[in-house]
Structure formats: C-alpha cells, structure tokens
Amino acid sequence: MTILTFTLILLAGAYLAGLVGSLTGLGGGVVVIPLLTLVFHVDIRYAIGAALLASIANSSGAASAYIKEGITNIRLGMFLEIATTVGAVCGAVIAVYTPTNTIAILFGAILLFSAAMTLRKKNMAAITEGSKLSYKLKLNSSYPTKDGEVEYKLKNVGAGFSIMTLAGVLSGLLGIGSGALKVLAMDSTMHIPFKVSTTTSNFMIGVTAAASAVVYLQRGYMDPGIAFPVMLGVLGGAFTGSKLLTRMDPKVLKYIFCIAITFVAAEMIFNGYNHKF
C-alpha cells in the first residue's frame, strides 16, 4: 500500500469517526483505534496517541458549533473537567506500563458498554427541583428548542463527579473520549437532557484528551504521519455532525453504529486474548 492510499483511507475513516463521535457524544476514538489496529496493524499505543489527538480535534470542531447554538452547559463542563483531567493523567501513566493485549481487551469491553449505553432509553423526565450543590455551583441552565428555551435542574452532582473521574482514567488508558460514561453521568445520574449531555460531553472530551496526550507525547507514541490525517478527517466529520445534530434524529445512525462497534469489540477482544497486538 502506498503512502497516498494509506493517507486517503485514514482521512475517510477519520471523517466517519468525527461524524459519529459528534452525533453520539462518544468521541472519535471508538472508530479510529480499531481502524488503525485491525486494518493497518498499527501498534495500539500509537493508535491511542493518534486517537487522543483526534478527540481534541473532534471536541474543537463540534463543541464550537454547539456553544454558539447555546446547547452546551459550559459551567458544568468546566466543573466536571476537573475530575476527568485528573483521571486522564492517571490513566495515561497506567497505560504506559500495561500490556497491549490487556489494553485491547479493555477497549473491546468499553466498546460493548458504549453500544449498550447508546441504545438505552434516554432520560426525558424533567427535574423540577435540583440538588443543593447544583444551586451553589450555579450548574442549572436551559437550552433552546423549536418551542423556546427549556430549563433543567441537576441532581446527584457528587455522584456524577465521581463517574467522571473514572471516565477520565479510561480516556487516558484507552485513548477514547469515554463518552458513554460521560453521558451516563450527566443523563442518568444527574438527569440532564440528552442533547445537553451529548454536547457537553463533546466539549469536555478535548480537555480530557489533551491532559493524557501529553504523557503519550513524552513517551514518543505520537506519529505525525498517522496523527495528522486522522486529525484532519475527524475535524471535518465533527463539523458535519454538529450541523446534522440539530436537524436529524440520529436513532438510525446509532443502531448502525452499535452493530458495527459490537463486531469491532468482539474482534479486539479476540485478538487481545490471543496476543495478536
């Protein structure tokens, strides 16, 4: 395979990763890492390094549009980033000393969890009274809809913060945005509307990935020939996804995505179990 062919396939795959990541809030790593490891047989640590940079690009592209539209809860995102950043640095340090086959098996398990979390019924019930901490930190907010502004209150802020710490560890360890855990913390635990939890997750992913990317950069796991086309493709996909989210129901896309990553997860776990990484 020539360098040009390799780059073009990477661009196309990264574009798809950015598109799906921005629509679901899961981040682009869930597509980028399997593409690099299973198709191109890249060492999983280099794949994680590229995926972290892709997550930064995905977050930058999608989050800017969501913030402009007033959907993202910036105050909440910056508060929860404290937990995810600390966890991400810890996860990145752990990953350096973890066998690659173990990382592959863990990655496959997280993919399966991400698929389950994407298909689950979203929390749609409005909370009339938020927790005391949500008022003290001024985390309650509103988001625009066709029928006007919709206000929402937050519950279980402390529990959501704890889940975010775990999400940060997984992000640094596996090179993914851990969007499934982020959405779980905001949607199920803190009772935030789905659109807000998805867009706020995208906003947070970039900061979380940047914290752990520093560790991978210092260890030499950033290959410009891989990372650059991945970043360009993911950025383009993220911009496209941010435009589509407000106009379409991503339900069909989520079903297709979940079926695809279930097969990828099985392949990752199988190869990791048989020490093929």
236 CB neighbour count, 10 Å cutoff: 17
DSSP notation for 62-108:
HHHHHHHHT-S-HHHHHHHHHHHHHHHHHHHHHHHTS-HHHHHHHHH
| pLDDT given for residue 17 in this prediction | 78
**CA dihedral defined by 238, 24, 276, 266, rounded to 10 degrees?**
-150
127 contacts 153 by C-beta, under 8 angstroms: yes
The two tokens of residue 245 are 């989210």
What pLDDT is recorded for position 276? 63
Rounded to an integer, what is the distance from CA 6 to the centroid of its chain?
25
CA distance 154 to 186: 9
| Coil, strand or helix at 188 | helix
Per-residue pLDDT of the chain (277 residues; tens, 9 = 90+): 788 888 888 888 888 877 877 776 666 667 788 778 888 888 888 888 888 887 777 677 667 777 877 888 888 888 988 888 888 888 888 877 888 788 778 878 877 877 776 676 555 555 557 778 888 888 888 888 777 888 888 888 888 888 888 878 877 777 665 666 666 677 777 888 777 877 787 788 777 777 778 878 888 888 888 888 888 888 888 778 777 766 666 566 667 667 767 877 787 788 788 776 5
In contact, 30 and 16? CB cutoff 8 Å = no
Q: Around Cβ 39, how many Cβ atoms within 10 Å? A: 11
pTM: 0.68
Q: In the prediction, which pLDDT does 47 show?
A: 86
**Rama region for 36: left / alpha / beta (φ>0; ψ in -120 to 50; rest):** alpha
